[in-house]
């Protein structure tokens, strides 16, 4: 069985005090959640959010991690730094990191391996652009990312993949339930072929394309979808709780 995982990606939103207030409001709303609940917060919010989620089911995540243990990498954060503050999950390779900050499949792979070595659970993002989807290149793009982003991983039960169709992020557009399920099914099938014998069957794959309170139940009813990486809908406690409690 693959336990569903709903993770909120706050992106560059919420000061530390605002983040603490948000999770305080969220805690009672998700206390009976049947899925794993994660909030991936800006680095500076981590201490306040950690304190605020104490005693709840909510787990703490970050939005990026560097691949080096230490060194002259101004502005970066290492896996050990995150681990010491109680971070359990970290988003790697989000489309915004790839588009705006030069993230590549090579650096995604290095960051993923560094996170695993520190005992963090990477949420690794892959997906295609609108141009690539309309050009019939979705599978080709995913094949390339699958081959490059996950080299050297021995146990895929320790990672989460977030399939994020880039064309559906922040646009209000969403893949249909069937489209999302079909593409995630393709990812799982391809992963099993490329990384056979490495616990791929236990790996969870989220949908990361504008999941919200209105469409969560339909998407989560699909057999291949193991959760969601939630953007804007995670910034309001009531909205995010409705996604978490999709099965009620």
Query: What is d(CA 183, CA 197) in angstroms, rounded to the nearest whole number?
Result: 22
**94 is annotated as an active-site residue:** yes
The residue from 94, 96, 132, 224 that is catalytic is 94
CA 6 to chain centre: 8
Pick left, alpha or beta for residue 55 (phi over 0 → left; psi -120 to 50 → alpha; otherwise beta).
left
In the block, which residue shows the tokens 């982003």? 149
Per the annotation, the verdict on 164 as an active-site residue is: yes
Contact 45, 19 (CB under 8 A): yes
Tokens read off for 168: 């559906």
Which of the residues 103, 132, 164, 224 is marked catalytic? Answer: 164
Give CA 179 to chain center in angstroms: 19
Give the bridge partners for 229, in sequence order.
Answer: 7
Catalytic residues: 94, 164
């Amino acid at each position: 069985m693959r336990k569903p995982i709903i993770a909120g990606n706050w992106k560059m939103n919420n000061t530390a005090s605002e983040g603490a207030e948000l999770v305080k409001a969220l805690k009672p709303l998700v206390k009976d959640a049947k899925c794993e609940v994660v909030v991936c917060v800006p680095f500076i919010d981590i201490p306040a959010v950690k304190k605020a989620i104490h005693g709840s089911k909510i787990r703490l995540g970050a939005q990026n991690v560097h691949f080096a243990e230490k060194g002259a990498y101004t502005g970066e954060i290492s896996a050990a730094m995150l681990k010491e503050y109680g971070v359990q999950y970290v988003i790697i390779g989000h489309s915004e990191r790839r588009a705006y900050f030069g993230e590549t499949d090579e650096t995604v792979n290095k960051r993923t391996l560094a996170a695993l070595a520190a005992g963090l659970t990477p949420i690794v993002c892959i997906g295609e652009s609108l141009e690539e989807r309309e050009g019939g290149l979705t599978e080709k793009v995913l094949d390339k990312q699958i081959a490059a982003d996950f080299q050297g991983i021995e146990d895929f039960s320790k990672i989460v993949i977030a399939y994020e169709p880039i064309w559906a992020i922040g646009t209000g557009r969403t893949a249909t339930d069937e489209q999302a399920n079909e593409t995630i099914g393709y990812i799982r099938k391809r992963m099993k072929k490329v990384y056979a014998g490495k616990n791929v069957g236990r790996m969870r794959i989220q949908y990361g394309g504008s999941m919200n309170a209105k469409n969560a139940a339909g998407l989560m009813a699909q057999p291949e979808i193991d959760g969601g990486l939630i953007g804007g809908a995670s910034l309001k406690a009531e909205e995010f709780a409705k996604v978490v409690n999709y099965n009620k």
